[in-house]
Amino acid sequence: MDIFKITGPVRLEGEITVGGSKNSALPIIAASLLTAGKSTLRGIPNLSDIAVMCKLLEDMGCKTVADNGDIAIDATTIYKPIGDYEIVRKMRASICILGPLLARCGKVEVSMPGGCAIGYRPVDIHLRGLQELGAKIELRNGYICATANGGLKGANIFLGGAFGSSVLATANVLCAATLARGKTVIEYASCEPEITDLANCLVKMGAKITGIGSPQLIINGVKELKPVEHTVIPDRIEAGTFMAAAAITKGNLKIKNCRTDHLMAVINKLRSINIAVEETQDGCEVCSSGNIEPTDITTLPYPGFPTDLQAQFMAVLCLAKGNSIITEKIFPDRFMHVAELSRMAANLRKEGPHIIISGVEKLIAAPVMASDLRASAALVVAALAAHGETIVNRVYHIDRGYEKIEEKLNAVGAKIQRQSV
């Protein structure tokens, strides 16, 4: 198991390049199951979550070849449309094979995702959406077993849940609807850029979709789709994590391959806390020259402030000149980083789904434990500014979503050493 030894404080300066989006790549790889033949996906980050998704496809008979950011997927043969427990338990996003396999094979079994460090994560919206397309669904031995004898049939589907739209439920129902008979209208679809990327990829495959990017997706089912070549969008969460790193280190980072239009809520927040953000030709320059001002942040579905950047921005606000409040409205229990940041001398208090952050003069290095992907990113961000040597344990969490983060950050002034223990 690897650890990071991070020496701080440092000031980050220079150019840093964002990779392809993990959360776009995962449902798009799953969508390649919708058609026989060979698809080529480009800009795919080299991450353990991507490897798990490819393993899942290979386990059912597909062939995948990864080569320097490209993944070639030959989904001609699917001899068992099954998402096995041993693979699915490693990654919840495995659930996004459900819609594509149901549409292509008329049946699918996927192990029901289990517990998750960021809180209770039900899949009822996925199942409700597919049932409305005519699927019969039962739970057997921990597996979601779905069948669509006679095929799926278009429907008007309201996909909202208690916390708003669902990203991967939208992906599943959208994929399934592309091959359903007739017209499907999805109301309260997720508007996240990753869903827009998926929809654009499906259109290239021959799907008929309108309303892309809006909460109402209209899909006219087609008989079949064709293989595709598609480049995924840049990872807005990796970009936002670099923005947080620039802010906390009073640094100056030119962030390349960054879609600023996907990060408006984040850029707006940075400006309001005294961090300058200038757009450049292929990204932006983030420059912090003075004090970090306190603020309030509420996470919301896109285009609101993303829950996947809540932890990293909490780290930044630990050093603000005053009190801030963060409210988590997507995953109300996504606060595993709070106790770890407190070990680094942050002053944090939890009040239900709110964290009250009293800014401190400095953070102090400590051994800390990564608990999930974004919480670990927050610990790395905090450690860049903390005095002394922070040890981040369980770095495998960060490897799920950030490709070579230590190399990228070290190239702009960080002092991060990876060690196997």
Residue 240 or 359 with smaller CB distance to ligand EPU: 240
In this chain, which stretch among 56-64, 120-128, 172-180, 246-254 interacts with ligand EPU, using CB under 6 A?
Answer: 120-128
Smallest separation, CB 322 to ligand EPU (Å): 28
Question: Is residue 266 a contact residue for ligand EPU (CB under 6 A)?
Answer: no
- Specify the residue for token string 């070579």: 404
Kindly calculate the radius of gyration of the chain based on its CA atoms and give it in whole angstroms. 21
Residue 126 or 254 with smaller CB distance to ligand EPU: 126
CA distance linking residue 421 with residue 248, whole number of Å: 29
Question: Is residue 123 a contact residue for ligand EPU (CB under 6 A)?
Answer: yes
Tell me which of 47, 97, 98, 169 binds ligand EPU, using CB under 6 A.
169
Q: How far is CA 122 from the centre of its chain?
A: 17
Tell me which of 161, 294, 303, 413 binds ligand EPU, using CB under 6 A.
161
Question: Is residue 374 a contact residue for ligand EPU (CB under 6 A)?
Answer: yes
Question: Is residue 115 a contact residue for ligand EPU (CB under 6 A)?
Answer: no
Q: What is the DSSP letter of 299?
A: B
Question: Is residue 397 a contact residue for ligand EPU (CB under 6 A)?
Answer: no
User: 371 is written with which tokens?
Assistant: 């608990």
Positive or negative, the CA dihedral 263, 266, 272, 274 is negative
Beta strands in 243-399 (DSSP E): 252-256, 275-280, 283-288, 296-298, 323-327, 347-351, 354-358, 367-369, 388-393
8 Å CB contact between 378 and 315: yes
Question: Could you report how far apart the first and last alpha carbons of the chain are, in Å?
Answer: 6
Q: Which of residues 313-352 bind ligand EPU (CB under 6 A)?
A: 330-331
Does an H or E element contain 109, and which? strand 107-111
Q: Is 284 a catalytic residue?
A: no
Residue 308 or 406 with smaller CB distance to ligand EPU: 308
Which residue of the set 54, 116, 145, 258 is catalytic? 116
Strand-pairing partners, residue 276, are 287
Tell me which of 12, 16, 23, 287 binds ligand EPU, using CB under 6 A.
23
Question: Is residue 307 a contact residue for ligand EPU (CB under 6 A)?
Answer: yes
In this chain, which stretch among 3-11, 100-108, 118-126, 391-399 interacts with ligand EPU, using CB under 6 A?
Answer: 118-126
Tell me which of 308, 328, 340, 406 binds ligand EPU, using CB under 6 A.
308
Strand-pairing partners, residue 70, are 67
Neighbours of 196 (CB within 10 A): 18
Question: Is residue 163 a contact residue for ligand EPU (CB under 6 A)?
Answer: yes
8 Å CB contact between 365 and 331: no
Measured N-to-C along each axis, helices 310-317 and 373-385 cross at an angle, to the nearest 10 degrees, of: 20
In this chain, which stretch among 61-69, 116-124, 318-326, 390-398 interacts with ligand EPU, using CB under 6 A?
Answer: 116-124
In this chain, which stretch among 33-41, 150-158, 163-171, 359-367 interacts with ligand EPU, using CB under 6 A?
Answer: 163-171
Cβ-count burial 7-20 (b if 16+ within 10 Å, e if not): bbbbbbeeebbbbb
Q: Which of residues 54-113 bind ligand EPU (CB under 6 A)?
A: 93
Residue 179 or 373 with smaller CB distance to ligand EPU: 373
Our CA dihedral for 129, 134, 135, 136, rounded to 10 degrees, sits at 120
Question: Is residue 310 a contact residue for ligand EPU (CB under 6 A)?
Answer: no
Neighbours of 361 (CB within 10 A): 7
Q: Give the number of residues written for the chain.
A: 421
CA distance linking residue 195 with residue 199, whole number of Å: 6
Measured N-to-C along each axis, helices 236-248 and 264-272 cross at an angle, to the nearest 10 degrees, of: 10
CA distance linking residue 417 with residue 380, whole number of Å: 12
Tell me which of 39, 64, 111, 166 binds ligand EPU, using CB under 6 A.
166
Question: Is residue 158 a contact residue for ligand EPU (CB under 6 A)?
Answer: no
Residue 288 or 310 with smaller CB distance to ligand EPU: 310
Residue 124 or 187 with smaller CB distance to ligand EPU: 124
Residue 366 or 381 with smaller CB distance to ligand EPU: 381
Residue 47 or 346 with smaller CB distance to ligand EPU: 47
Q: Which of residues 184-213 bind ligand EPU (CB under 6 A)?
A: 194
Active site residues: 116
Give the residues lining the site for ligand EPU (CB under 6 A). Answer: 23, 26, 93, 121-126, 161-163, 166-169, 194, 307-308, 330-331, 373-374, 401
